[in-house]
Structure 1
Amino acid sequence: MKNLVLLIGNDINNISAGLSWKDLLQDIITYCHTSGCIEIDEKKPFPLLYEEIFLTAIRQHHMKEKDLKAFIAGKTAQITPNQLHTAIRALQPEHILTTNYEFTLEGSTPTENTSLIRETTFSIFRKYTMDNIHYWHIHGDCLNPMSINLGFEHYGGQLQLMRNYVVSGTMYTNKAVPKESLIRRIKNKEIYFHSWIDLFFTKDIHIFGLSLDFVESDLWWLLTYRARQKFHHKTISVPNNIYYYIPEAYTERSKFKLDLLKANGVTVVSMPAPTKLAYYQGIIEKIGKTKPVRDTAIAL
């Protein structure tokens, strides 16, 4: 479906039997030999909990982060696809953004990286194109373990590069990367889909399977900056819409988060969820009936 853009999180993987996020966390602690040292508490933001586990492992066992992330990459690569992944591909979206590290959405492991540049650590341009769908792994992928975004330090570095790309301009040596900021390029009507970030200012985006916890500082910054441009600074036109899908039963307990999303110009869509599978099937069906919007960008 031309112009359809999806941002998909890990919850769609929970339809599949096997590794859960809690399982992965326990596996990380076990691998780092920190079982007796780390207290898992939901009050601890995960990026800081990751730092606690890793830094404890460094001090006690001289753990190397590349080994830890290679272990995590191997674990996430074991996640098996389910019927939702197939149904999502059947929509034939132009772009799929995902915070997931594995390639269940693609249906198979890509053989070619189609990013503008090759990134070893951060994920401003990380893209794989398969069957005319552009897949953007915005938090890294398991083929490149050091790109997997888990810790507080990694989030900070990602956000720094994101803000440069949007606000102040880039300093990449590769001449293919535009030096001017995204905001300036939009003002000059020079938009190219080099990065997944471009889509947040130019195309409608449907978000589902993603809890959007406040630890996702990079995404919350992007939503906030976009909203400030749209409602406050108004230096550029921001004509696109962003939709966030949530089960009806969760709307009351998530009111604080939904209020913040609405303040940032995000449209909240609550859906019935008799089962997790039926909930996501309902979203996919609803999106499939969405009329594509006119492409506001100039070039790809």
Structure 2
Amino acid sequence: MNNLVLLIGNDINNISGGQSWKDLLQDIIAFCHAGDCIDLDEKKPFPLLYEEIFLTASKREKIREKDLKSFIAIKTAEIKGNEIHQAIRALKPAHILTTNYEFTLEGSIPLENTSLIKEKFYSIFRRYKMHDIHYWHIHGDCLNPMSINLGFEHYGGQLQLMRNYVVSGTFYTSKDVPKASLLRRIHARQVHYHSWIDLFFTHDIHIFGLSLDFVETDLWWLLTYRARQKFHHKNVPVNHDIYYYIPEEYLAASKFKLDLLAANDVTIVSLPGKDKLAYYKAILEHISKFK
């Protein structure tokens, strides 16, 4: 049985060309009529920059966030797939986690939402299934624009629900959602993969195409909490590995981040990255050996 679990970010989309993330940011500013007052200083963390853009537009234009996120959903849905998306599907992993909002990884818009519950805003259980692969859109998806996770407030709400799910237990009204925390369920050997979060404590995970900037507070918290369980609290067994793939040309400039990942029990795998297409093919070849 193939138990591969992949966590994939937006960089694989850059092979397709077309609209970049910077292009999308400019489109968002133009849509909000905020170009005359937004300073795109690189020192601004993106979730807070998003809040600046939205709040400025909200004060001046009375724009609704629903309209803004619907616009973003339309723009990201225009991203085209490429041969790396196809190669990932051909690998036939059991689970694909992604921070991407569009469905290029699936290859088409999924017809079946297999989430434990239907979430409007946050993405603890957001799952689709196609061709025996479970796709978890952990930062929202284009079919549900308000679920698209961009702003600081949204990250805060997501993290709150994640910590409840892992540590203290949930408060959902649905009877299908387990009330006991993930830690308690691991102790009781009752883990049924209701959420993508379960996989971080039960499976090897291969992370690529994801910069893992520090603004990804939800993922950094999860990595940190998992490492604390393994080395400090030791309340539950943590016996699986996490691999982070990075172009070898970025090793020196990214040392500060790689040091932090290593402290959080993440194994760094570097491969030649000057040719982006060849780089991702090499990653998939490396991962295929874990099948």
Q: Could you state the TM-score of these two structures normalised by the residue count of structure 2? A: 0.99
- Is residue 276 of structure 1 aligned with residue 276 of structure 2? yes
Q: Which amino acid aligns with 1:237?
A: P
Match of 1:263 in 2: 263
For residue 253 of structure 2, give the secondary structure of its aligned residue in structure 1.
coil
Structure 1 segment 220-235 matched on structure 2, within 5 A: 220-235=220-235
Question: For the residues of structure 2 that align with 1:133 and 1:42, how far apart are their CA atoms?
Answer: 37
1:274 offset after TM fit, Å?
3.1
1:111 offset after TM fit, Å?
1.1
Question: For the residues of structure 1 that align with 2:69 and 2:19, how far apart are their CA atoms?
Answer: 16
Question: For the residues of structure 2 that align with 1:50 and 1:274, how far apart are their CA atoms?
Answer: 31
Question: For the residues of structure 2 that align with 1:10 and 1:268, how far apart are their CA atoms?
Answer: 19
Structure 1 segment 1-300 matched on structure 2, within 5 A: 2-290=2-290, 292=291
For residue 79 of structure 1, give the secondary structure of its aligned residue in structure 2.
coil
For residue 17 of structure 2, give the secondary structure of its aligned residue in structure 1.
coil
Question: For the residues of structure 2 that align with 1:27 and 1:270, how far apart are their CA atoms?
Answer: 34
Question: For the residues of structure 1 that align with 2:174 and 2:44, how far apart are their CA atoms?
Answer: 39
Question: For the residues of structure 2 that align with 1:204 and 1:175, how far apart are their CA atoms?
Answer: 30
For residue 84 of structure 2, give the secondary structure of its aligned residue in structure 1.
helix
Question: For the residues of structure 2 that align with 1:227 and 1:175, how far apart are their CA atoms?
Answer: 31
Question: For the residues of structure 2 that align with 1:150 and 1:87, how far apart are their CA atoms?
Answer: 28
For residue 269 of structure 1, give the secondary structure of its aligned residue in structure 2.
strand
Question: For the residues of structure 2 that align with 1:125 and 1:274, how far apart are their CA atoms?
Answer: 36
Gaps of 5+ in 2: none
In the alignment of these two chains, the number of paired residues is 291
Which whole-Å deviations, capped at 9, do the CAs of 1:48-84 have from their partners, x for residues lacking one?
Answer: 0000000000000001000000000000000000000
Question: For the residues of structure 2 that align with 1:283 and 1:107, how far apart are their CA atoms?
Answer: 20
Question: For the residues of structure 2 that align with 1:235 and 1:78, how far apart are their CA atoms?
Answer: 45
Question: Contact 2:249–2:274 at 8 Å: present in 1 too?
Answer: no
Q: Report the aligned-residue RMSD.
A: 0.6
Which whole-Å deviations, capped at 9, do the CAs of 1:195-249 have from their partners, x for residues lacking one?
Answer: 0000000000000000000000000000000000000000110011000000000
Question: For the residues of structure 2 that align with 1:37 and 1:86, how far apart are their CA atoms?
Answer: 41
Q: Could you state the TM-score of these two structures normalised by the residue count of structure 1? A: 0.96
1:112 offset after TM fit, Å?
1.4
Question: For the residues of structure 2 that align with 1:80 and 1:96, how far apart are their CA atoms?
Answer: 18
Q: Which amino acid aligns with 1:262?
A: A
For residue 140 of structure 2, give the secondary structure of its aligned residue in structure 1.
coil
Question: For the residues of structure 2 that align with 1:274 and 1:74, how far apart are their CA atoms?
Answer: 31
Question: For the residues of structure 1 that align with 2:269 and 2:42, how far apart are their CA atoms?
Answer: 27
Question: For the residues of structure 1 that align with 2:201 and 2:188, how far apart are their CA atoms?
Answer: 14
Which whole-Å deviations, capped at 9, do the CAs of 1:115-157 have from their partners, x for residues lacking one?
Answer: 0000000000000000000000000000000000000000000
Gaps of 5+ in 1: 293-300
Question: For the residues of structure 2 that align with 1:287 and 1:264, how far apart are their CA atoms?
Answer: 21
Identical residues among aligned pairs (%): 74
Q: Which runs of 4+ in 1 moved over 3 A?
A: none
Question: For the residues of structure 1 that align with 2:274 and 2:90, how far apart are their CA atoms?
Answer: 23
1:35 offset after TM fit, Å?
0.3
1:101 offset after TM fit, Å?
0.0
Q: Which amino acid aligns with 1:201?
A: F
1:17 offset after TM fit, Å?
1.9
Question: For the residues of structure 2 that align with 1:268 and 1:42, how far apart are their CA atoms?
Answer: 26
Question: For the residues of structure 1 that align with 2:16 and 2:210, how far apart are their CA atoms?
Answer: 16
Which whole-Å deviations, capped at 9, do the CAs of 1:4-49 have from their partners, x for residues lacking one?
Answer: 0000000000000211100000000000000001000110000000
Question: For the residues of structure 1 that align with 2:17 and 2:73, how far apart are their CA atoms?
Answer: 18
Question: For the residues of structure 2 that align with 1:232 and 1:173, how far apart are their CA atoms?
Answer: 33
Question: For the residues of structure 1 that align with 2:111 and 2:198, how far apart are their CA atoms?
Answer: 25
